[in-house]
Amino acid sequence: MPPQKAPAGVTKRVTARPPNARANRGAPPPGTRSAALLLLAAVFDRRRPLEEALDQLPAAIEPRDRAAAHRLAAAVLRHAGSLDAVLEPHLRREPPPVVRAALRMGAAELLVLGTPAHAAVAATVAVVPRPFAGLVNAVLRKVATEGAEAYEGLDRERLDTPPWLWSAWHAAYGAAGVRAIARAHQQAAPLDLTLAPGASPPEGAIELPTGSWRLPEGTRVTDLPGLAEGAFWVQDAAAALPARLLAVKPGERVADLCAAPGGKTAQLASAGGIVTAVERDPKRAARLRENLARLKLSVTVEEADAATWMPAEANFDAVLLDAPCSATGIIRRHPDIPHLKRPKDVAQLVQAQAQLLAQAARLLRPGGRLVLATCSLQPEEGEAHLARAAALGLVPDPIAPTELPGLRTALVRGGTLRTRPDMWAEQGGIDGFFAARFRRG
């Protein structure tokens, strides 16, 4: 997102304390800030996903520095609009990108993460090119003394949401809806797990009404016992719903289209389905295989384009199409998304989804079931596909309220699923998903 000023006419909301300000956790370890600058340059300058940038950090960077850099970069990405609004009065002209990124980083440490001022300022100054050290020092000192008050007075929900997404969500969900969604995006998400059949949940996990298990935000999955043994896999509670809605019975032949990293594949195979998972991207297909091996699940993985893939023996009992999408439903977990996606991406993805849907319908036996899912809040990538499905001869198979315990508000339009990140707000929210179920006539 380019630096933004508060839009005209936006009401300023004042809260006693920034809701994201954490208890002071002390200064991040050395090496964090230069690694975070690499991550931010990848997202802001080259428009690469944060996860990809993390994978490409130099191998010499220590795991604890990587984790701290990820946390710092995520705070900048989540709050970039608000941080810019605080920085703006202290900048006479636009600084070079690396300096802008460092200023956002320093401001995020001061205003969001609670790093002590002396550590945040000195360590940020140390990673900028020398000619800009004085500027960064002066601006961050100002932010350290005056920034908190300015930050608290901002309409952060609005400033941290790109205008095109705000307008689209306003049109789809109304004024209260867009506000609630943007508020949910101010917070990082908790860690949700799906348990392997018969496995015990990790200590401290809470069971959600839909059957997923939740641990507090910031929990590191690698610290949980049972990960290597395949006792669970990481999967947001909303992401776990589409495969459940397919209600696979043991021995059924199931095609899982667009499958990596395989959370839904694992659910389908655990339910006893004879699963073929189709994934186009070779690296992601390799990750899918690794994940299935860890979970000791037997699945046929096809590296192929699901828009044209047609095995000799199709006639599947059930097909899950978890189509590639703009991913605007998972911004809580991926705060880089608002900085990477543009409206034209949505239009292109809708075309791809329509092709995949048509092919998915061809794979079914008569009477077979299809669930279409996208992790997007854009109606073009969800509800708009219902008319296309009807034209393909797919008959709606409405989801029943009993299939969504604790989530009845997510049941809309005569039996389709629409979750939003502001649902289950008291329990830490849920990702935004659309899902619809059909039968082949």
Ligand X SMILES: C[S@@+](CC[C@H](N)C(=O)[O-])C[C@H]1O[C@@H](n2cnc3c(N)ncnc32)[C@H](O)[C@@H]1O
Binding positions for S-adenosyl-L-methionine: 258-264, 279, 305, 322
Residues within window 131-170 making contact with ligand X, judged by CB under 6 A: none
Q: Which helix (H) or strand (E) holds 269?
A: helix 263-270
Site string for ligand X, 296-325 (x = CB under 6 A): ---------xxx--------------x-x-
Q: Does 260 sit near ligand X (CB under 6 A)?
A: yes
Please choose, out of 142-150, 167-175, 199-207, 279-287, the segment that lies near ligand X by the rule CB under 6 A.
279-287
* Candidate residues 144, 278, 340, 361; the one interacting with ligand X per rule CB under 6 A: 278
Residue closest to 86 by CA, chosen among 35, 36, 37, 148? 148
Tokens of 210: 């839909």
Number of shown-chain residues binding ligand X (CB under 6 A): 17
Is there a cis peptide before residue 261, judged by omega within 30 degrees of 0? yes
Rounded to whole angstroms, the Cα distance separating 76 from 356 reads 35
Neighbouring C-beta atoms of residue 268, cutoff 10 Å: 27
Q: How far apart are CB 431 and ligand X at their closest, in Å?
A: 11
Tokens of 134: 């004085």
Question: Cα dist. 280→56, 239, 240, 266 in Å?
Answer: 21, 20, 22, 18
Q: Does 264 sit near ligand X (CB under 6 A)?
A: yes
Rounded to whole angstroms, the Cα distance separating 423 from 180 reads 9
Residue closest to 432 by CA, chosen among 169, 205, 245, 170? 169
Looking at beta carbons only, is 103 or 266 nearer to ligand X?
A: 266
Residue closest to 376 by CA, chosen among 416, 322, 336? 322
Tell me the Ramachandran region of residue 415: left when phi exceeds 0, alpha when psi lies from -120 to 50, beta otherwise.
left
Looking at beta carbons only, is 264 or 440 nearer to ligand X?
A: 264
Looking at beta carbons only, is 65 or 279 nearer to ligand X?
A: 279
Tokens of 416: 């389709």
Q: Does 244 sit near ligand X (CB under 6 A)?
A: no
Whether the Cβ atoms of residue 328 and residue 341 lie closer than 8 Å to each other:
yes
* Candidate residues 69, 259, 319, 407; the one interacting with ligand X per rule CB under 6 A: 259
Looking at beta carbons only, is 280 or 418 nearer to ligand X?
A: 280
Q: Does 280 sit near ligand X (CB under 6 A)?
A: yes
Q: How far apart are CB 437 and ligand X at their closest, in Å?
A: 16
Q: Does 258 sit near ligand X (CB under 6 A)?
A: yes
Q: How far apart are CB 195 and ligand X at their closest, in Å?
A: 16
Whether the Cβ atoms of residue 352 and residue 367 lie closer than 8 Å to each other:
no
Q: How far apart are CB 265 and ligand X at their closest, in Å?
A: 7
- Catalytic-residue membership of 325: no
Phi/psi of residue 185, each to 5°?
-70, -10
Looking at beta carbons only, is 108 or 241 nearer to ligand X?
A: 241
Question: Cα dist. 412→82, 256, 409, 436 in Å?
Answer: 34, 25, 7, 10
**Active-site annotation holder among 99, 375, 423, 430:** 375
Tokens of 137: 């020092």
Site string for ligand X, 92-121 (x = CB under 6 A): ------------------------------
Q: Does 240 sit near ligand X (CB under 6 A)?
A: no
Neighbouring C-beta atoms of residue 392, cutoff 10 Å: 18
Q: Does 262 sit near ligand X (CB under 6 A)?
A: yes
Q: Which helix (H) or strand (E) holds 39?
A: helix 32-40
* Candidate residues 51, 62, 281, 345; the one interacting with ligand X per rule CB under 6 A: 281
Q: Residues at the annotated binding site?
A: 258-264, 279, 305, 322
Q: How far apart are CB 40 and ligand X at their closest, in Å?
A: 24
Q: How far apart are CB 353 and ligand X at their closest, in Å?
A: 9
Chain residues binding ligand X by CB under 6 A are 258-264, 278-281, 284, 305-307, 322, 324
Residues marked active site are found at 375
